[in-house]
């Protein structure tokens, strides 16, 4: 997925949604830096909040826009708990959903049939995503940084060459390639 995202130049109204691990495994590569918006789905429990806290700590300093979407929220106490634990990172929450339960049983309906409150949460995520300004240069710097780190840690030794040579110093991300 990281290789795909590193080569993707998507424009306004184009989206790639990725379901990935939310724990420390997400930091084994630079994949976590490849998203305009990272939304962690978290139940209102100590375990769910613990995953958010671990992710936030690992992501700190990498320019990751991190939000939390509460899941399986049953009452105002669940919402309060999420707000107390994640503050402004809380983008919304899903309550119990007959639509989701039916989908998990194999009866998938169009997303538009999702309960109105849950559909509004998805709209909030889309609004937050669309509000993000794309910084292609920052994406490229992150790609180069992780490439160089992995090259030095194990890649150069594994292939017997300096993998820094794979980086094109004239490459300008987000712009069509210029051919001579």
pLDDT digits (tens, 9 = 90+) for 104-132: 999 999 999 999 999 999 999 999 999 98
Reduced 3-state DSSP string for 111-130: HHHCCHHHHHHHHHHHHHHH
Q: Which residues contact 121 (CB under 8 A, 6 or more apart)?
A: 69, 91, 92, 93, 94
* DSSP assignments along 8-42, one per residue: ----TT---------SGGGGSSSGGGS-S-EEEEE
**pLDDT tens per residue, range 64-106:** 899 999 999 999 999 999 999 999 999 999 998 999 999 999 9
Helix (H) or strand (E) holding 140, with range, is helix 136-150
Q: What does the domain layout of the chain look like in residue ranges?
A: 11-134, 135-180
Q: In the CATH hierarchy, which fold is given to the domain comprising 11-134? A: Rossmann fold (3.40.50)
Residue carrying structure tokens 């769910």: 48
């Amino acid at each position: 997925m990281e290789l795909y995202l590193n080569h993707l130049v998507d424009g306004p109204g184009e989206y790639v949604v990725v379901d990935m691990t939310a724990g420390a495994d997400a930091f084994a590569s630079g994949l976590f830096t490849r998203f305009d918006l990272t939304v962690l789905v978290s139940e209102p429990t100590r375990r769910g909040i613990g995953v958010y806290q671990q992710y936030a700590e690992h992501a700190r300093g990498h320019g990751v826009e991190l939000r939390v979407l509460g899941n399986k929220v049953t009452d105002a106490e669940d919402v309060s708990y999420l707000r107390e634990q994640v503050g402004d990172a809380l983008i919304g929450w899903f309550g119990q959903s007959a639509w989701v339960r039916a989908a998990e049983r194999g009866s998938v309906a169009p997303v538009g049939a999702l309960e109105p409150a849950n559909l509004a949460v998805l709209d909030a995520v889309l609004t937050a995503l669309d509000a993000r300004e794309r910084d292609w240069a920052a994406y490229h710097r992150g790609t180069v940084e992780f490439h160089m780190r992995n090259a030095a840690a194990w890649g150069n030794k594994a292939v017997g060459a300096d993998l820094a040579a794979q980086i094109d110093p004239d490459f300008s991300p987000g712009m069509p390639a210029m051919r001579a």
